[in-house]
Structure 1
Amino acid sequence: MNDKLAPKDTVSPIWRGLRTLTAARIGLARTGASIGTGPLLEFQLAHARARDAVHEELDAEKLRSDLSAFGLPVLVVDSAVGSRRDYLMRPDLGRRLSPESEAALAPHAGQTDVALVVADGLSARAVQTHAAPVLAALLPALQAERLTIAPLVIARNARVAIGDAIAQALRADAVTILIGERPGLSAPDSMGAYLTWRPNAETTDADRNCLSNIRTEGIGHADSAFKIAHLLRAMRMRRFSGVRLKDESDLPPLPIPDAG
């Protein structure tokens, strides 16, 4: 091909080097005042994937089958939302259990150390992909500390605060909710973990600890499980969670508190 007719990479070599270090869209090639056709099409595809992830519904039965392998009872509950469309329009209803779900949890109530909840949130794909691998690493760590674990709960059309209602219904001291995060243009399948000590009606977001970006390209499954176990241990020792409790999992291990 004639060199004069070949497309030219108008991006500075400095930007090309930086692009190897991040998935962020930086140093994009331009055509006149607009970005190049290739980056534009990639952006549109990423945007479509993010939109699809938000509207995608959780395959609760497939997830229940995956979680059953851990040997704990698995319960499926719903928020007070009637449909996925309502879920996106009414965040407040996504924080509450439906009356039928409250009744379904009641027979399983018993004083336990921790409740583990898996919720679709804004990306069902995220928990469908990452929840089971994280729990596969987390559960042995909790069982090694002789913690009592409530039945695993799958929550549909749920927001973070539904974990509070579930923990109260099951009478668990602490709750960890694994939930699909808002899809980004580089990550439609990112999962978050929110941990709360003794949640109640007065609990706010400041009372939670959050671990974000759980996915293959972010914080891996084993590392996430390690951090969650560490935070739960710290909560039991200090009797609080949230902004006062820092992630110090990179420091020497905390002693395992007595089961009582």
Structure 2
Amino acid sequence: MSGLTGADPWAVLRGATRARVALGRAGDGLPTSRLLEFRAAHAAARDAVHASLDVAALRGALRAAGVAADVVDGLVEVHSAAPDRATYLQRPDLGRRLADGTDLPAGECDLAIVIADGLSPRAVQDHAAGLVAAVLDRLAGWTVAPLVLAAQARVALGDPVGAALGARAVVVAIGERPGLSSADSLGLYMTFAPRPGRADSERNCISNVRPPHGLGYAEAAGTLVALLTAARELGASGVALKDEGPALPPGAG
């Protein structure tokens, strides 16, 4: 028993999660090391919200991830109705609408993919290229609209984008709101038959795409394509469509 003197009984739990658990205390407060960790995590979350997306670097990352050159070169950039980052953070409604005069190539396709900066451009910078490459690799037989990169965007911006492109489904890969344990989490939101006014209950979400601490690109892409296939057969997404895991049956609902 003498060998256990001074051992931290919470060390195993802390090693299994990035959540802030069993922080201990020093007198009436936190130990100095834990307080500094908290402040650093809080600063990282704030920085992630206010960061700018480097479009040129993202194009380069897409190429490096194996996305075809014509797809990268054909990437369409759009902007929400929020004119700047400060307005975007204060007016979520403007982030759900396209800026006046936005022109998108009308057509007819199975799927539109929107890469949106959201509340963590850092997440998009770090993970969008690998995720998009993994998704495109699994879409044999699908017609896909030109990739769209949306600035100052909320999830619902995918609805007018998908409708304008004539897409039967839209996927929005967006930087999620940073937390104190994750400032770089990417979320995927899939909506069947997108159009302005769709409710959040009509979408399916795959959250926390951020290897190695969250969902990997291949696993996220596999789940997304299974959901897309089932949504196409069912003719609906959201609460009407259940994610039954890796063996998601066609038309699950």
Q: Give the TM-score normalised by structure 2.
A: 0.90
Residue 249 (1) aligns with residue 249 (2): no
CA contact (8 A) 2:62 2:130 kept: no
Q: Deviations over 1:109-161 (max 9, x none)?
A: 1110000000000000101111110111110211x2x1100000000000000
Instruction: Work out whether residues 60 and 76 of structure 1, in 8 Å CA contact, stay in contact via their aligned partners in 2.
Output: no
Name the amino acid aligned to 1:247: D
The answer to whether the Cα contact below 8 Å between 2:118 and 2:176 also exists between their aligned partners in 1 is yes
Secondary structure of 2:59's match? helix
In the alignment, which of 103, 109, 113 is matched to residue 110 of structure 2? 113
**Within the alignment, does 1:189 sit opposite 2:184 as a pair?**
yes
Residue in 1 that maps onto 2:79: 78
Give yes or no for the alignment of 1:233 onto 2:242: no
In the aligned structure 1, how far is the partner of 2:144 from the partner of 2:17?
Answer: 38
Is 1:135–2:136 an aligned residue pair? no
Aligned counterpart, 1:176: 171
C-alpha distance in 2 between matches for 1:38 and 1:23:
16
Deviates more, 1:71-80 or 1:33-42: 71-80
Structure 2 unaligned segments of length 5 or more: list them: none
Aligned residues: 240
Contact map agreement 2:168 2:192 (CA 8 A) in 1: yes
Give the root-mean-square deviation of aligned CA atoms: 1.7
Query: Which amino acid in structure 2 is aligned with residue 74 of structure 1?
Result: L
Question: In the alignment, does 2:54 pair up with 1:59?
Answer: yes
Aligned equivalent of 2:149: 154
Residue 124 of structure 1 aligns with which residue? Answer: 121
The equivalent residue for 1:98 is 99
Instruction: Give percent identity, aligned residues only.
Output: 50
Residue 35 (1) aligns with residue 36 (2): no
Q: Aligned AA for 2:142?
A: L
Compare 197-206 and 119-128 and name the one that shifted more: 197-206
State the structure with more CA Rg: 1
Q: Deviations over 1:230-251 (max 9, x none)?
A: 1110111100000111112322
Secondary structure at the counterpart of residue 172 of structure 1 = coil
What's the TM-score, normalizing by structure 1? 0.88
Shift of 1:29: 2.3
Unmatched segments (≥5 aa) in structure 1? 1-7, 256-260
